[in-house]
């Protein structure tokens, strides 16, 4: 419990620091939002009036305070370009981005975990080398290039096989679930295959290390076959490490999805962020970046808590250190 409280405290401090960093960096960018909205031929009086309306004439301290006060009340602000609530836009775009990330992660797990365990179990040197080569080649393919190859092979209209849509998302969203899911398959493959290769390498290393441990030897001495001992004992012992790797892979997928969304013309958070940056929509961009940073921090917090829950050695280490500190204080 003390560990969770400590991590929550660090989480809050990190959120505050990130919000300040995002605010300062965006204010250092060249250009003026009011000038962008008013147009190139706008009079200086019109630009000054817009700056007053948008609150850009206030000091940076006042602007930051207003933004943080809104965040504490769940208000992400209003887009200075479109005039719509940023929270509503983020919620609409997240219904595309997060399903895409989840499908990508499922593909990565379906590729990485079985092939990683197979590379440990096989005694065939050629097959082991083939798995190693697949992991290296698949992991070296950028998501953008992989997406282009998938479009050339499987997209309707321009692809060789013409099986899946290459761009866009249904107008009614998840009201047409089959069409929505079909539009996510190619971009999910573009990011999932690369992530799966990374998970495969980590799985092979982690499970292979545990497969040579005394626990596996004892399991085999009790009557298990090598395959049973690896899958039931070594894989379970490697689970805490794999949880950390999967959490890191999930976070990396967010940045990969940002690129893939623009390639496949998906109305997700990636295209929204690129558009808002191009329009110099400060309120929208700073809220979007803050949410992404908060998501990364929250994911790290969850991974740390789950890792500690799965690995009893960390709990024992905490108890031992606590007792040592207590004993030293008493002495």
In a 10 Å sphere around its CB, with 0-12 CB exposed, 13-18 middle and 19+ buried, how is residue 141 labelled?
A: middle
Give the per-residue pLDDT at 315.
56
Residues in the chain: 331
- Stretch 198-225: mean pLDDT, rounded? 87
Give the per-residue pLDDT at 316.
52
Task: Report residue 85: phi and psi, to 5°.
Answer: -65, 130
pLDDT confidence tier of residue 327, bands split at 50, 70 and 90: very low
- Stretch 68-78: mean pLDDT, rounded? 83
What predicted TM-score, i.e. pTM, was given to this entire model?
0.80
222 sits in which H/E element: none
Which domains, ranges and CATH numbers included, belong to the chain?
1-81+279-331 (no CATH), 86-273 (1.10.3720.10)
Give the per-residue pLDDT at 314.
56
Give the per-residue pLDDT at 110.
92
Tokens of 81: 């370009």
Q: Which residues have C-beta within 8 Å of that of residue 198, sequence separation ≥ 6?
A: 108, 112, 139, 245, 249
Q: Which among 287, 297, 244, 252 is positioned nearest to 13, based on CA atoms?
A: 297
pLDDT confidence tier of residue 174, bands split at 50, 70 and 90: confident
CA distances from 146 to 107, 127, 193, 273, 324 (A): 14, 24, 9, 22, 53
Which of 262-271, 274-283, 284-293 shows the lowest per-residue confidence on average (mean pLDDT)? 274-283
Q: What is the pLDDT of residues 282-306, one digit of tens each?
A: 788 888 888 888 888 888 888 888 8
Give the per-residue pLDDT at 8.
84
CA distances from 158 to 149, 152, 259 (A): 11, 7, 21
Q: Mean pLDDT in the chain?
A: 81
Tell me how many degrees the CA angle 290-296-299 measures, rounded to the nearest 5: 135
What SS3 class is residue 85?
strand
* Distance, CA of 58 to CA of 29 (rounded, Å): 17
Give the per-residue pLDDT at 329.
36
173 vs 99, residue with greater confidence = 99
Q: What is the pLDDT of residues 35-66, one digit of tens each?
A: 766 666 777 787 788 778 777 778 888 888 88
- Stretch 122-131: mean pLDDT, rounded? 82
Q: What is the pLDDT of residues 312-326, one digit of tens each?
A: 665 554 443 344 434
Q: What is the pLDDT of residues 130-165, one digit of tens each?
A: 888 888 888 788 888 888 888 888 887 777 777 888
CA distances from 250 to 55, 98, 100, 104, 317 (A): 37, 11, 11, 9, 28
Give the per-residue pLDDT at 330.
35
Give the per-residue pLDDT at 312.
64
Percentage of the chain exceeding pLDDT 90: 2
In a 10 Å sphere around its CB, with 0-12 CB exposed, 13-18 middle and 19+ buried, how is residue 177 labelled?
A: exposed
């Amino acid at each position: 419990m003390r560990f969770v409280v400590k991590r929550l405290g660090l989480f809050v401090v990190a959120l505050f620091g990130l919000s300040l960093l995002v605010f300062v960096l965006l204010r250092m960018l060249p250009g003026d939002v009011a000038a962008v909205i008013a147009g190139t031929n706008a009079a200086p009086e019109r630009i000054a009036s817009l700056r007053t309306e948008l609150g850009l004439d206030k000091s940076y301290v006042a602007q930051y305070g207003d933004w943080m006060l809104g965040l504490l009340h769940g208000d992400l602000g209003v887009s200075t370009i479109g005039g719509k609530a940023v929270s509503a836009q983020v919620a609409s775009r997240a219904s595309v981005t997060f399903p895409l990330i989840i499908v990508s992660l499922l593909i990565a797990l379906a590729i990485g975990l079985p092939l990683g365990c197979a590379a440990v179990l096989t005694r065939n040197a050629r097959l082991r080398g083939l798995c190693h080569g697949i992991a290296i080649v698949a992991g070296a393919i950028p998501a953008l290039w992989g997406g282009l190859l998938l479009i050339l092979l499987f997209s309707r209209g321009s692809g060789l096989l013409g099986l899946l849509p290459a761009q866009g998302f249904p107008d009614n969203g998840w009201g047409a679930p089959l069409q929505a899911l079909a539009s996510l398959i190619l971009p999910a493959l573009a990011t999932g295959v690369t992530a799966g290769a990374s998970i495969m390498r980590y799985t092979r290393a982690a499970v292979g290390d545990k497969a040579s441990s005394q626990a596996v030897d004892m399991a085999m001495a009790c009557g298990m076959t090598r395959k049973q001992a690896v899958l039931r004992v070594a894989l379970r012992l490697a689970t805490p490490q794999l949880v950390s790797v999967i959490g890191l892979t999930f976070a990396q997928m967010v940045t990969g999805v940002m690129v893939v969304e623009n390639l496949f013309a998906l109305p997700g958070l990636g295209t929204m962020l690129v558009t808002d940056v191009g329009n110099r929509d400060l309120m929208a961009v700073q809220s979007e970046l803050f949410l992404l940073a908060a998501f990364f921090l929250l994911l790290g917090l969850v991974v740390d808590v789950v890792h500690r829950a799965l690995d009893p050695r960390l709990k024992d280490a905490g108890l031992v250190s606590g007792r040592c500190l207590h004993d030293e204080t008493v002495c």
